Amino acid sequence: MDKLSYDGPIVLAILDGVGLAPDGPGNAVSRARTSFLGKAAREYLHVALDASGEAVGLVAGQMGNSEVGHNTMGAGRAIKQGIAKIEEAFATGEVFDSEAWKGAILRVLDRSEGTGGNEQAAQRTLHFAGIFSDGGVHSHISHLEQMIQKAYDDGVRRMRVHAIFDGRDVLPQSEPKYIQRFEKFAAKFQDADIRIASGGGRMTTVSDRYGNDWQMVARGWDMMVNGEADYYFKSAEEAISVLRRVKPGVQDQNLPAFVIVGADEQPVGKIEKGDALIYFDFRADRAIEIAMAFTYWDFPYFKRGDYQPTDVYFVGMTEYNSDTHVPEHRLVEPVEIDETLNRFLSKQGISELAVSETVKFGHVTYYFNGNSYDKVVGEEHVKIDSYTEPYETRPWMRTAEITDVVLENLDKYKFVRLNYPGGDMVGHTADMEATIVAMEAIDLSLARIAAKVDELGGVLVIVADHGNAEELLDANGAKKTSHTTNKVPCIIYDNTANRTKYQLAPVVEPGLANIAATMAVLLGENDYPESWDTALIEVE
């Protein structure tokens, strides 16, 4: 097969959360004025890609997400991960056979502190925390239930849950359903003390990512460890009911932090010295910072009082940082991804640049590179600080600044990849007008990059990692904040003479796993790793 050769760069623009769906009242992508994208889809090679379920290593029918989407693109193949890997670990017993599980149970059942034989009084508390839904993107409530059951079978009688409310991967105001499910489940254990101790929305409490807003983590720490928050309630159900009245229309993801107190007005479940905490998120990006807070000795991000990392036995569902191997104790060992695109290109001497803003920087670097922040020879990363205000108030996000950095560097790197977060981050608010603005900002920026690519004699490949912005209303017309299982676009914008030298390859069920090989062929590297799925194009 002949090799392609371009004077200019090969640019991969990832439109986060921009899927394909019929035009309709809930489709912010089709409703936006995107003249460049529309023309590119009509006039250049264009193929719809699978970006969910088994195509990205998840269980069939599971919506895709940014983590697995970037993993799959960068790895060149679908790797069993996310909920698929965790479900398998529960099914085989790997979770409960792990040293981390055994260590947590032993910590809680320690009866060596002079209790005078009163074993129940001596028992410490086993805590659980994580995103509290069945969304299956970061976590699943069924995993929490299985662990509570096993802990009970192992002799634990005092358990507390610190619930991070979802509203993004599930319906925006669906938390009462999960609270009721949990309360019904916990009621089965009549001789045990199992209850929700605190809660807060994932966009206000605990679940920050990429160091965008450490105050979210600090609020979660205060809520879970110090028993301090702006709101106190007798139960989680009461909390949701009252907060809905105080803040009409507030989505679960934006609920403020609260603490549950008993008849004595004291917190019912602070995380205290000697306790164990299992963080049940399996996706790393919104779990790593709270893991750092509980496990790092040198921790500069907020004050932890006199806390020492040995005070609490912290367990993660899996490893949240493969470079630093945090946390030390984990229920499921991480997947190892080798032969990634960035490593392959580095071996060929091809220079690389990755650019995004904070909220998606880790996706276009860490996840794209096989769960590693380490840069290979010839690779550079640029992060632009995201706004900390609500996304719907600044829906253009840092799209222009990302574009500026890319344009400044297009003549310096052969392969440039970037992530525009607007379709996903604004789409998660289900605010139609704001998401339209996000899409229009992205379209303007793509046109700027395309013009420079034409000038330099390169190629612009436009793709998405999963759907979201194209489906902001569900079948009943209600707001939808979650990802979708829709296919995503892949457009190869090429105005060079090479455009006539290749065509779409007859790939069966093309998906994100075909992106790495496609980039390699465009870069003139036809002998890509055999482990990769084939390229979407073939050179004539």
First to last CA, the chain: 7
Query: What gap in Å lies between CA 343 and CA 341, rounded to an integer?
Result: 5
Does position 232 have pLDDT exceeding 50, yes or no? yes
Q: Could you count the other beta carbons within 10 Å of the beta carbon of residue 223?
A: 28
Residue 331 within any structural domain of the chain: no
The string of pLDDT tens digits covering residues 248-285 is 889 999 999 999 999 999 999 999 999 999 999 998 88
Helix, strand, or coil (residue 7): coil
Residue 481 within any structural domain of the chain: yes
Whether pTM exceeds 0.75: yes
Residue 425 C-alpha from the chain's centroid: 11
The string of pLDDT tens digits covering residues 320-338 is 987 889 999 999 998 889 9
Q: Where in 37-125 does DSSP place strands (E)?
A: 45-49
Query: What gap in Å lies between CA 303 and CA 305, rounded to an integer?
Result: 6
Residue 321 within any structural domain of the chain: no
197 and 288 both lie in a single domain: yes
Query: What gap in Å lies between CA 329 and CA 98, rounded to an integer?
Result: 9
Q: How many domains does the chain have?
A: 2
Joined together, the tokens standing for residue 126 give 């086993």
Helix segments in 231-272, DSSP class H: 236-246
Does position 116 have pLDDT exceeding 60, yes or no? no
Phi, psi of 196 (to 5 degrees): -75, 130
Is residue 418 within 8 Å of residue 461, measured between CB atoms? no
The string of pLDDT tens digits covering residues 452-481 is 999 999 999 999 999 999 999 999 999 999
C-alpha R_g of the chain: 24
Is residue 448 within 8 Å of residue 2, measured between CB atoms? no
The string of pLDDT tens digits covering residues 487-522 is 999 999 999 999 999 999 999 999 999 999 999 999
257 and 364 both lie in a single domain: no
363 and 470 both lie in a single domain: yes
* Catalytic residue from among 66, 98, 133, 386: 66
76 and 143 both lie in a single domain: no
The domain boundary residue, chosen from 253, 282, 316:
316
Would you state the pLDDT for residue 335? Answer: 83
Phi, psi of 85 (to 5 degrees): -70, -40
Residue 115 within any structural domain of the chain: no
Strands 537-539 and 502-504: antiparallel
Does position 132 have pLDDT exceeding 70, yes or no? yes
Is residue 373 within 8 Å of residue 365, measured between CB atoms? yes
Position 312, amino acid: V
Does position 215 have pLDDT exceeding 60, yes or no? yes
Is residue 58 within 8 Å of residue 506, measured between CB atoms? no
Query: What gap in Å lies between CA 304 and CA 299, rounded to an integer?
Result: 9
417 and 528 both lie in a single domain: yes
Identify the CA nearest to 481 among candidates 286, 208, 202.
Answer: 202
Strands 415-420 and 352-357: parallel
CATH number at 435 reads: 3.40.720.10
Active site residue 142: no
Would you state the pLDDT for residue 122? Answer: 61
53 and 92 both lie in a single domain: no
The torsion defined by the Cα of 263, 268, 270 and 275, in degrees rounded to 10, comes to 130
Does position 119 have pLDDT exceeding 80, yes or no? no
Is residue 139 within 8 Å of residue 452, measured between CB atoms? no
Identify the CA nearest to 305 among candidates 204, 218, 208, 197.
Answer: 218
298 and 437 both lie in a single domain: no
- Return the H-helix or E-strand segment holding 316: strand 313-316
Strands 193-201 and 258-260: antiparallel
How many CA atoms lie less than 13 Å away from 44 in the CB half-sphere?
A: 22
Is residue 503 within 8 Å of residue 538, measured between CB atoms? yes
Q: For 426, which DSSP code?
A: T
Residue 194 C-alpha from the chain's centroid: 29
Mean model confidence pLDDT for the chain: 95
Does position 112 have pLDDT exceeding 70, yes or no? no
Q: Where in 72-151 does DSSP place strands (E)?
A: 126-131
Joined together, the tokens standing for residue 469 give 């912005």
Would you state the pLDDT for residue 1? Answer: 64
Q: Name the one residue in this structure whose structure tokens are 């009242």.
A: 25
Would you state the pLDDT for residue 118? Answer: 44
Cis preceding-peptide flag for 390 (omega within 30 of 0): no
In terms of residue numbers, what domain contains 155? 83-110+122-316
Residue 199 within any structural domain of the chain: yes
Q: Which percentage of the chain shows pLDDT scores above 90?
A: 90
Does position 224 have pLDDT exceeding 70, yes or no? yes
The domain boundary residue, chosen from 287, 316, 345:
316
Would you state the pLDDT for residue 80? Answer: 86
Query: What gap in Å lies between CA 125 and CA 136, rounded to an integer?
Result: 26
What are the respective helix, strand and coil percentages of the chain, to the nearest 5? 35, 20, 45
Residue 3 within any structural domain of the chain: no
67 and 97 both lie in a single domain: no
Q: Name the one residue in this structure whose structure tokens are 């947590």.
A: 104
214 and 351 both lie in a single domain: no
The torsion defined by the Cα of 461, 464, 469 and 473, in degrees rounded to 10, comes to 130
How many residues appear in the chain?
540
Would you state the pLDDT for residue 113? Answer: 38
Joined together, the tokens standing for residue 501 give 């030298």
CATH number at 214 reads: 3.40.1450.10
Q: In what order do the strands lie in the sheet with 231-233?
A: 231-233, 258-260, 193-201, 158-165, 126-131, 276-279, 313-316
Residue 152 within any structural domain of the chain: yes
The string of pLDDT tens digits covering residues 371-398 is 998 999 999 999 999 998 999 999 999 9
Residue 431 within any structural domain of the chain: yes
Would you state the pLDDT for residue 336? Answer: 85
Would you state the pLDDT for residue 114? Answer: 35
276 and 351 both lie in a single domain: no
406 and 514 both lie in a single domain: yes
Query: What gap in Å lies between CA 56 and CA 76, rounded to an integer?
Result: 10
The domain boundary residue, chosen from 316, 351, 381:
316
Phi, psi of 524 (to 5 degrees): 80, 15
Q: Could you count the other beta carbons within 10 Å of the beta carbon of residue 113?
A: 8
Strands 126-131 and 502-504: unpaired
Position 455, amino acid: E
306 and 348 both lie in a single domain: no
Does position 115 have pLDDT exceeding 90, yes or no? no
Identify the CA nearest to 126 among candidates 302, 285, 271.
Answer: 271
The string of pLDDT tens digits covering residues 412-438 is 999 999 999 999 999 999 999 999 999
